[in-house]
Structure 1
Amino acid sequence: MKEITLEELLEAGCHFGHQVTRSNPKARDFVFESRDNIQIIDLVKTKQGLDEAAAFVKHLGQNGGTLLVVATKKQAKQAVEEEVQKIREDLKEKAEKNGQTLFYITQRWVGGVLTNFSEVSRNFKKLSDLKQKLSSLEEKAK
């Protein structure tokens, strides 16, 4: 796997964060400083995090784990789709034996799907029930 350098992160603009007023307080540890009301991200910590994530993904792959990649920003959608397809091709034989283990979402992500699934699934059930009632009313109106 290609190692990403600090220079590449800088050239890619990875150091630009949110406006200070829009930032999450939990992210403070990863902010190097703020300039002109924009947070500057600490690229050394970013690189450490990327290296840890890469090691984790490699470990997952070696041990038959499952990975879900979520990329809903315009800038990332195409790249993620292409890379996942390439990896799937490389792992095709293994996936046929063990089942698909690499998934991706590039459309709208419903918040809470992983962290609050019980509430999200209740809302999906309500939506399904409403659709059924509407369909039933439309049938009666005919």
Structure 2
Amino acid sequence: MHSLRPRLSNPVRFSFKFCKNCTRRLSQQAQGPLETENDWTDFQQTRTSLKTLMDAMSQYGSTQTSQWSLRDSLHRPTKDATLSALLASGAHFGHASSRMNPNFLPYAYGTRAGITLIDLDHTLPLLRRAAKVVRAVAANDGQIVFIGTRSDIRPVVQKAAQRLGTQGFHVGDRWLPGTLTNKWQMFGHETVRSKRIVPDLVILLNPIQNMNAIQECALSNVPTIAIVDSNVDPRIVMYPIPANDESPRTAEIIAGVLSIAGREGIAIREAETQRMRMAVDSAWEDFNKMQVMQDARQPQRSDAEAFDY
């Protein structure tokens, strides 16, 4: 008759046998009294050897705890999103198959239990393409606006805008209709003339709730990037990213990748500005040196020659 006990690996079996033997030896020693000096010496030697073995064997194996923590993708996002990270965040879950937009069909992997599954093999390259766009806009001193009007993704857009410094802005409560198309009446002529009201790029984490912003960006010729779920038409934005727009963790990963790409673009622009400044300073120093050398080579005339001339 076979035993129902699962088969253990050799390290686990050895550790189990080791602990069992240690317990048996300690129990046997505890039963007998330590009367003579030899008994005390044997007991101390045994305890020392057991401590040495336990210290040596404690570094092997894994330590199991009851705590499990996710990566803090909000404050420490990944620089490059991977397929496993998107899969773990639930980015492949769409809406019900009956609600799938017909234009979303190229980005759908299939259906399971009535739910549309998003093909992450399309999500990853489109996310990288959007990251390149954000990096290029930030490198050209462009203003980028993150829009996420749900309460669970409001901290995401705030943190993403903070990574871009003075070039990053966010809308977390509500997009006011007419912000771009009616800017003269909303902000005033002086503000519109003195400040940059129209952004250079808009990133939306929940596009369905912000259709007014998408329409105004289209009328103002502002490029848009958005997380597009299976119930959304991907053609409403310029750079769609097919993913689950109801998952806060998916929004954290995508917004983190895009904001870090923008920060890299800012660093590229600052490095280019520093290089140009150093080149101008070097050229100016070379010009001054050449001017000094020309003045030194030119023959100096005496006061009498200058007067005769």
TM-score relative to the length of structure 2: 0.32
Letter aligned with residue 111 of structure 2: S
Give the match for residue 108 of structure 1: 174
Superposition deviation, residue 23 in structure 1:
2.0
Q: How does 1:75-86 map to 2 (within 5 A)?
A: 75-86=152-163
Gap regions ≥5 residues in structure 2: 1-77, 176-209, 218-309
Gap regions ≥5 residues in structure 1: 89-94, 96-100, 118-142
Superposition deviation, residue 113 in structure 1:
3.2
Superposition deviation, residue 68 in structure 1:
1.6
Among residues 21, 26, 36, which one is paired with 2:113 in the alignment?
36
Q: How does 1:26-105 map to 2 (within 5 A)?
A: 26-88=103-165, 95=166, 101-105=167-171
Q: In the aligned structure 1, how far is the partner of 2:216 from the partner of 2:98?
A: 27
Q: How does 1:120-131 map to 2 (within 5 A)?
A: none
Report the structure number with the largest CA radius of gyration. 2
Superposition deviation, residue 70 in structure 1:
1.1
Cα gap change, 1:2/1:105 in structure 2, threshold over 3 Å: closer, same or farther?
same
Letter aligned with residue 105 of structure 1: V
Q: In the aligned structure 2, how far is the partner of 1:113 from the partner of 1:83?
A: 19
Q: Secondary structure of the equivalent of 1:111?
A: helix
Instruction: Supply the RMSD in Å over aligned alpha carbons.
Output: 2.2
Q: Report Cα offsets for 1:89-131 as digits up to 9, x if no partner.
A: xxxxxx4xxxxx32211123453234158xxxxxxxxxxxxxx
Letter aligned with residue 24 of structure 1: N
Aligned residues: 107
Superposition deviation, residue 80 in structure 1:
1.8
Matched, 1:21 2:98: yes
Q: Secondary structure of the equivalent of 1:52?
A: helix
Superposition deviation, residue 28 in structure 1:
1.2
User: Is the 2:146–2:170 contact (alpha carbons within 8 Å) kept by the matching residues of 1?
Assistant: yes
Q: Secondary structure of the equivalent of 2:134?
A: helix
Larger relative contact order, structure 1 or 2 (CA cutoff 8 Å, min sep 6): 2
Letter aligned with residue 64 of structure 1: D
